[in-house]
C-alpha cells in the first residue's frame, strides 16, 4: 500500500531529514535553525534553500488559531486572574514555537524541493 506523497513529506519534515535522500540531517547539530551546508549522506547542496519567512507565518497562524480560542474558553470556564493568563499563555506559546518551528521549516523546504526542484539544480 503506497503512502500519500503529502504524508511522506510530513514524515520527512518531522524527522528533519534531507528532502532529496530522506536520510541526511537537514540542520546543523544542536538546537539551531541553521541548515547544514550539504547533506551528510548524499551531498545535496542545502545552502540553496530559501524558506524566507514562510515557516514563521505558518506558525503564527497555527498559534493564533489554537491559543486565542483556548484562552477565551479558559476565561469563560475558570475565570483565572490576568497574571495567570499571561504566564500560562506565554509558556504555551513558547513551547509550541520551540517545538514546531524546526519541523515546519523542514516541511516548507520539502515542499519547495518537491514543487520547485528546478530552483535547487546547479
Give the number of residues written for the chain: 122
Angle of CA points 51, 54, 60, to nearest 5°: 145
On whether residue 1 sits in a domain, the answer given is no
Residue 1 confidence (pLDDT): 41
pLDDT of residue 44: 87
pLDDT of residue 3: 61
Count of structural domains, the chain: 1
Return the percent helix, strand and coil in the chain, to nearest 5.
Answer: 65, 5, 30
pLDDT at position 78 is 95
Averaged pLDDT, groups of 10, the chain, 122 residues long: 72 90 89 87 83 88 93 96 96 93 91 79 61
Does residue 69 lie in a domain region? Answer: yes
Round to whole Å and give the CA distance between 103 and 57.
14
Its sign, for the CA torsion 10, 11, 15, 20, is negative
pTM of the predicted model as reported, rounded to 2 decimal places: 0.84
Domain that holds residue 42: 6-120
Amino acid at each position: 500500500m503506497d503512502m500519500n506523497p503529502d504524508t511522506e513529506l510530513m514524515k520527512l519534515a518531522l524527522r528533519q531529514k534531507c528532502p532529496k535522500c530522506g536520510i541526511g540531517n537537514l540542520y546543523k547539530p544542536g538546537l539551531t535553525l541553521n541548515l547544514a551546508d550539504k547533506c551528510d549522506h548524499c551531498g545535496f547542496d542545502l545552502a540553496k534553500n530559501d524558506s524566507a519567512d514562510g515557516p514563521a507565518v505558518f506558525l503564527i497562524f497555527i498559534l493564533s488559531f489554537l491559543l486565542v480560542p483556548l484562552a477565551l474558553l479558559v476565561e469563560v470556564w475558570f475565570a483565572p486572574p490576568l497574571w495567570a493568563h499571561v504566564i500560562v499563555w506565554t509558556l504555551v506559546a513558547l513551547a509550541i514555537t520551540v517545538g514546531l518551528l524546526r519541523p515546519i521549516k523542514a516541511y516548507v523546504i520539502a515542499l519547495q524541493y518537491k514543487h520547485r526542484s528546478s530552483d535547487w539544480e546547479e
